[in-house]
C-alpha cells in the first residue's frame, strides 16, 4: 500500500500516491483510486513505470472546495495536473484514467499535447453534447449531502457496483471487494467532498459545435487508445469508434463482456493492455 503524499502548488494542495521509480513517467488523476487499480499496478513489477496517482482538487487530502460555485472543473483539474507535472520536473508522461479520470488527459491533449507520450483512455471518452452537462430533464438529483456524511446505509447503496451478467468467480470477488473499498472511501469523506459542483466542458477543448470538436480531435499529435466495455452505457461503443476514427493513428479496444467499470473489475487486464500499447508506440509514425 502506497502512502498518500501532498505537494503545495501556490494556494492549492494536491495529494498523490507514487509507485515505482525512474523517468518512464505515468500520470493519472481522479477523485478516488482503488488500491489495486491498473494505474497503480503499472508502477509495480512486472511493469516499470514511475506512476503518480493524483487526487483531484476537492477530494481526499487535496484542497477542498467550499464555495459551491459551478466552474469548469474539468479545465481546473487538467490545469492542476499540468502544474503538478511541472513542479515534479516531469517533462513528459504517459496518461491513463478511468471514467471521470479521463477528463484531465483530454484537457492536456488539447491544450498541452507536447506533455503526453501516449494516452490510454479507459472506460470513458470526451464528448460533445448539445445540452450542457448537468442540465435537461434527465438531470440527476443528488441526495442531501448532509444526510450522506457517515451514513453507512446510504453510502453503501451509492458505492461502486457492477451488474453485468457473469459467473466468473474472479470478477464476482473483485466486484465485492471494490464495493467494500469504495464504501469505506465514501465513509471517510467530509461534507464538502459531497458538495463539489462536479462538471464542466465535456469536450475538454471549448468546442462550440460537433464539427469543431471533431476537428480538434483530428489535430491530436500523439498515439491514443480507447479502451472500453461493449456494455458501457456512458462511453458507448459507437461514440468511442467515431473518436477513434477521428484521431490520427488511434486504436480502439473493446471487451464485449464489460461495462463502465470494466477496468476496475479487471485491472490486471487493463494494465497489460496499457503496457503493450505504450511499448508498441515507441517510434510509431502517425
pLDDT value for 2: 80
What is residue 83's DSSP assignment? H
Is there a domain that residue 285 lies in? Answer: no
pLDDT value for 134: 46
Task: Give per-residue pLDDT as tens, 238-247.
Answer: 999 999 999 9
Task: Give per-residue pLDDT as tens, 75-111.
Answer: 999 999 999 999 999 999 999 999 999 999 999 999 9
Is there a domain that residue 211 lies in? Answer: yes
Task: Give per-residue pLDDT as tens, 131-159.
Answer: 554 444 344 466 788 899 999 999 999 99
Is there a domain that residue 36 lies in? Answer: yes
pLDDT value for 138: 44
Return the CATH number at 156. Answer: 3.40.50.1820
Q: Which residue has the higher pLDDT, 277 or 138?
A: 277
Domain count, the chain: 1
pTM of the model: 0.93
Give one DSSP letter per residue of 120-133, joined into a string. EEES------SSPT
Is there a domain that residue 50 lies in? Answer: yes
pLDDT value for 207: 95
Is there a domain that residue 165 lies in? Answer: yes
Mean pLDDT of the chain: 92
**SS3 labels along 176-206:** HHHHHHHHHHHHCCCHHHHCCCCCCCCCCCC
Q: Which residues of 165-198 are buried (b: 16+ CB within 10 A; e: fewer)?
A: eeeeeebeebbeebeebbbebbeebeebbbbbeb
Banded model confidence at residue 286, pLDDT cuts 50, 70, 90: low
Structural domain for 200, as ranges: 4-280
Strands (E), 141-250: 224-229
Is there a domain that residue 286 lies in? Answer: no
Amino acid at each position: 500500500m502506497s502512502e498518500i503524499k501532498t505537494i503545495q502548488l501556490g494556494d492549492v494542495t494536491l495529494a498523490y500516491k507514487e509507485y515505482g521509480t525512474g523517468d518512464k513517467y505515468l500520470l493519472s488523476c481522479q477523485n478516488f483510486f482503488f488500491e489495486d487499480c491498473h494505474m497503480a499496478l503499472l508502477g509495480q513489477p512486472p511493469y516499470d513505470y514511475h506512476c503518480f496517482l493524483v487526487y483531484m482538487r476537492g477530494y481526499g487530502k487535496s484542497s477542498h472546495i467550499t464555495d459551491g460555485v459551478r466552474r469548469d472543473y474539468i479545465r481546473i483539474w487538467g490545469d492542476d495536473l499540468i502544474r503538478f507535472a511541472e513542479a515534479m520536473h516531469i517533462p513528459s508522461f504517459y496518461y491513463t484514467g478511468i471514467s471521470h479520470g479521463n477528463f484531465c488527459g483530454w484537457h492536456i491533449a488539447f491544450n498541452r499535447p507536447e506533455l503526453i507520450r501516449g494516452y490510454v483512455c479507459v472506460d470513458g471518452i470526451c464528448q460533445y453534447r448539445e445540452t450542457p452537462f448537468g442540465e435537461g430533464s434527465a438531470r440527476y438529483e443528488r441526495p442531501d449531502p448532509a444526510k450522506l456524511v457517515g451514513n453507512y446505509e446510504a453510502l453503501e447503496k451509492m458505492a461502486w457496483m457492477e451488474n453485468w451478467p457473469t459467473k466468473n468467480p474472479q470478477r464476482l470477488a473483485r466486484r465485492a471487494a471494490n464495493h467494500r473499498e469504495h464504501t469505506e472511501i465514501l465513509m471517510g469523506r467530509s461534507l464538502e467532498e459531497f458538495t463539489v459542483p462536479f462538471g464542466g466542458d465535456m469536450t475538454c477543448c471549448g468546442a462550440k459545435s460537433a464539427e469543431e470538436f471533431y476537428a480538434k480531435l483530428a489535430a491530436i499529435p500523439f498515439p491514443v487508445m480507447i479502451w472500453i466495455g461493449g456494455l458501457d452505457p456512458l462511453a458507448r461503443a459507437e461514440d468511442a469508434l467515431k473518436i477513434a476514427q477521428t484521431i490520427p493513428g488511434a486504436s480502439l479496444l473493446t471487451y464485449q463482456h464489460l461495462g463502465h467499470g470494466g477496468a476496475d473489475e479487471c485491472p490486471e487486464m487493463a494494465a497489460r493492455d496499457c503496457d503493450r500499447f505504450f511499448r508498441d508506440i515507441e517510434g510509431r509514425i502517425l
